Structure 1
Amino acid sequence: MEREKQELDALPPDYTPIPDNVIDDDEADSYIRTRLYLSDTLLHHFRTVGGPVDAVKTSLDHLLDMKRFYSRDGMDLEYPIPALYIRLHRDQEAYDFSKMHAIITKKLEYAYHNTGLSSLHVKDADVFESPNGLWANDEKWIDFRYAVAVTLVKLRILFDLQAIQNAIRAFTGVFPPEIIDLIRLQLVGSVIESRPKVLHGSIDETASLIKTIKKQLRDLFKSIAKSNRHFWPLFLEDAPTAALTRPVSSTPGSMEEAKLILAYNYAAWAETPGAIDVIRTLS
């Protein structure tokens, strides 16, 4: 296995993923499946709330490596990735990854027949954009496997905006503006921190963004419920137990699919204080 690893690591960053006829090679396939098993073992033993950061990062690195070398459908490599990003406080990357795969899902012809799929890349997408069309719409089915992570990213943004709003209300007239700006910076995650206009927005601008994000969250909640009617009841009634079981297969809209996606996402939600309570208010 070490030889295969060295050969794969030696490939350039823009290398096209392994063609189907190559991935069938026994040694390469064995290497990839071994990496996947290692990642899965880490997730299984350390996916509990507050699990070691190193285990989360190592698991994510394995999945990203295998996604790079093996883009073909069939192993479900990508589904745990957004939640792992979130657990590492890399919310922008979680959103970018989710949006990229939402675009692929919407353009099935491109996904299945375009050999240049690896060139599709989303970076620094607008996390404040409407989810309509990708994760929330009037149609019955969406690919909710990524919508769950997107919902959490939006929730974390909402919490940051509310923290900013509270800081403005509490400290205006008490501290100089530059001190209030420093306080704001300490209250937010990387998504808001990287957007100075949002971070330093007026109380009216912040209130407007809060209203927008709340509507988006309601839309996402409804779309996920339509896509898989089992997910939110399972999430709210028995999430810790359900997250410990992971079905080996599932079909869209099934209880097995709900359990699978919950297993991948629950720790990220539980590690975000207040997130589950917000969902209770929407249900």
Structure 2
Amino acid sequence: MVQIVHSAHLPAAKVPYTDFKGPRGSLKHRCGFCLEPKSKLSKCTGCRAVRYCCREHQVQDRPGHKSVCNRIKRCRTKLDKEDHAVRNATPDFMTPANAFETDVGHFWGILNTRDYMRARFALADSLRRLGTLDGITEALDHMQDMLRLCRSDNMGIRDIIAPTLLQLDQDQECYDFIKWYATEGRRGDYDWGDMDLPFLNVKGANVLEDVGYLEKEFQVQHVSTVMLLKLKLLIDIINIKLARKVAAGRLPPELWARIELYVTRSPVSRQWVGKPYQAITTVQQKLELDVKLLARTIENINQNFVHMLLDADDYLSELPESYSSGTFEEMLLVLQHSYGAWWQHEGVLELLESARSIARKDSEDEIEDMMSGMTFENNPGSDRTKDELLHDVSINRLWGYFDDALEDATSLGEDRPSEVKRLRLKAEFEAAEEKERGFISSDDENDD
């Protein structure tokens, strides 16, 4: 059982729902009131993490912004106080005079640094939850420096850093970060107290390499973040293909690359801009395979993941006090740490929802037959409705229809390929049943 170090400003069981659903797409400096991205914005002097395009908008936003602004100011004041206490501590056999000079890397192991680390986490978490470019950037700076101060990461900061890097489109850095923890960081002989050992030194790892090494990673946050990265790249591949389909025959090929660069988000995806269609299809197939392998790995770690991710509105307001690996409470924490990144990446949740929708349609007749059967009627719990059963079945079968969702996403036709396929297979099945009934009827006549 792991106890959770909460941000000081949050109650134990509830968090603001709006923390997780801000503007979608790449982070930009936006007005905190009208949300319009503009080049000239004035920063709030209180929280220093929200900007406004004019004085009028700042005044209009004040009723909603006041509480969070004051909260962040209190967090900054508290951090300054704890910082001063660590730097000017009265030394004794347990307390250094200034741990910032003598014990970098070992914070939290020294008792008088813990209030400082808690205060810094409270500030970082408050800034992160704002969802602004300023807030998330500063939060990442704080959290990365906290890892420098405490390599053993007793507070679990690494679980929040990974999805935060994706929010800032530092995708290569995110993958390198996770790969280090999943490889070097899992070595049983790694001495976290030896500051001379390499730390987070994986650079430029191949994002398309086999993901089998993650099967031994037991941190659902890191595995799911790699899956989000792969899905992010898949969406870019889809957008490249759609842009090329639209541009083909209308624009000269030399302009295609400019358009494709515009419709991609990840810096990693730029390497595929302008590449031959078959080459990017090969990349797509590799990413698709990786996503499904990672989904299987996540299922082995925590079976609640997909259910709670796709129905996140039911869970985002809950914050657990503690958790164990594989539990419902663990997934509550994962959502708290990463849902903002999932929400922000346009197309990702939609792709998963599309796969779920296709699975649901394809399962409707089966569920109806099952519910009308005697086995179901005599089974305890058979009072569940068709919608409830379809909800669960569609999520359980989601990954089996992931290919169909991708095909739909890359199609420009009015008819969705998955629906055409479903109706064709249904017609073939009904025709086969009709043919079988004909054979049976013929046999009966012959018997007579």
Q: TM-score, normalising length from structure 1? A: 0.83
Alignment CA distance shift 1:8-1:114 (3 Å):
closer
Contact kept, 8 Å, 1:231 with 1:262, in 2: the verdict is no
| CA–CA distance in structure 1, aligned partners of residues 203 and 103 of structure 2 | 19
Alignment CA distance shift 1:5-1:152 (3 Å):
farther
Instruction: Name which of 115, 128, 134 aligns with 1:54.
Output: 134
Q: Equivalent residue for 1:18?
A: 105
| CA–CA distance in structure 1, aligned partners of residues 184 and 142 of structure 2 | 22
Contact kept, 8 Å, 2:105 with 2:195, in 1: the verdict is no
Alignment CA distance shift 1:73-1:181 (3 Å):
closer
How do residues 247-266 of structure 1 correspond to structure 2 at under 5 angstroms? 247-266=320-339
Q: Equivalent residue for 1:161?
A: 237
Worse-superposed segment, 199-208 or 270-279: 270-279
| CA–CA distance in structure 2, aligned partners of residues 119 and 56 of structure 1 | 23
1:267: how far off?
A: 1.0
Q: Which structure has the larger Rg?
A: 2
| CA–CA distance in structure 1, aligned partners of residues 307 and 258 of structure 2 | 40
How do residues 183-222 of structure 1 correspond to structure 2 at under 5 angstroms? 183-192=259-268, 194-195=270-271, 198-222=272-296
Aligned with 1:162: secondary structure?
helix
Contact kept, 8 Å, 1:148 with 1:224, in 2: the verdict is yes
Name the aligned partner's letter for residue 212 of structure 2: N
1:241: how far off?
A: 3.7
| CA–CA distance in structure 2, aligned partners of residues 111 and 253 of structure 1 | 27
Q: Deviations over 1:52-90 (max 9, x none)?
A: 222212211111111111112421111111111111222
Q: Equivalent residue for 1:228?
A: 302
Name the aligned partner's letter for residue 167 of structure 2: R
Worse-superposed segment, 157-166 or 101-110: 101-110
Structure 1 residues without counterparts, runs of 5 or longer: none
| CA–CA distance in structure 1, aligned partners of residues 106 and 160 of structure 2 | 23
1:105: how far off?
A: 4.8
Name the aligned partner's letter for residue 339 of structure 2: Y
Q: Equivalent residue for 1:132?
A: 212
Contact kept, 8 Å, 2:172 with 2:204, in 1: the verdict is yes
Q: Equivalent residue for 2:423?
A: none
Q: Say whether 1:246 aligns with 2:319.
A: yes
| CA–CA distance in structure 2, aligned partners of residues 231 and 247 of structure 1 | 16
Q: Say whether 1:29 aligns with 2:114.
A: yes
1:113: how far off?
A: 7.3
How do residues 52-201 of structure 1 correspond to structure 2 at under 5 angstroms? 52-110=132-190, 116-134=196-214, 137=215, 142-192=218-268, 194-195=270-271, 198-201=272-275
Name the aligned partner's letter for residue 204 of structure 2: D
Alignment CA distance shift 1:96-1:130 (3 Å):
same
| CA–CA distance in structure 2, aligned partners of residues 181 and 9 of structure 1 | 52
Contact kept, 8 Å, 2:182 with 2:213, in 1: the verdict is no
Contact kept, 8 Å, 2:232 with 2:266, in 1: the verdict is no
Name the aligned partner's letter for residue 176 of structure 1: P
| CA–CA distance in structure 1, aligned partners of residues 160 and 123 of structure 2 | 14
Alignment CA distance shift 1:25-1:223 (3 Å):
closer
Q: Work out the number of aligned pairs and report it.
A: 266
| CA–CA distance in structure 1, aligned partners of residues 146 and 132 of structure 2 | 22
Aligned with 2:213: secondary structure?
coil
1:109: how far off?
A: 2.8
Name the aligned partner's letter for residue 74 of structure 1: N
1:202: how far off?
A: 0.2
Percent identical pairs in the alignment equals 26
Name the aligned partner's letter for residue 173 of structure 2: E
Contact kept, 8 Å, 1:98 with 1:146, in 2: the verdict is yes
1:265: how far off?
A: 0.9
Q: Equivalent residue for 1:268?
A: 341
1:189: how far off?
A: 2.1
| CA–CA distance in structure 2, aligned partners of residues 95 and 53 of structure 1 | 21
Aligned with 1:258: secondary structure?
helix
Name the aligned partner's letter for residue 60 of structure 1: L
CA RMSD of aligned residues (A): 2.8
1:279: how far off?
A: 2.8
Alignment CA distance shift 1:229-1:76 (3 Å):
same
1:230: how far off?
A: 1.5
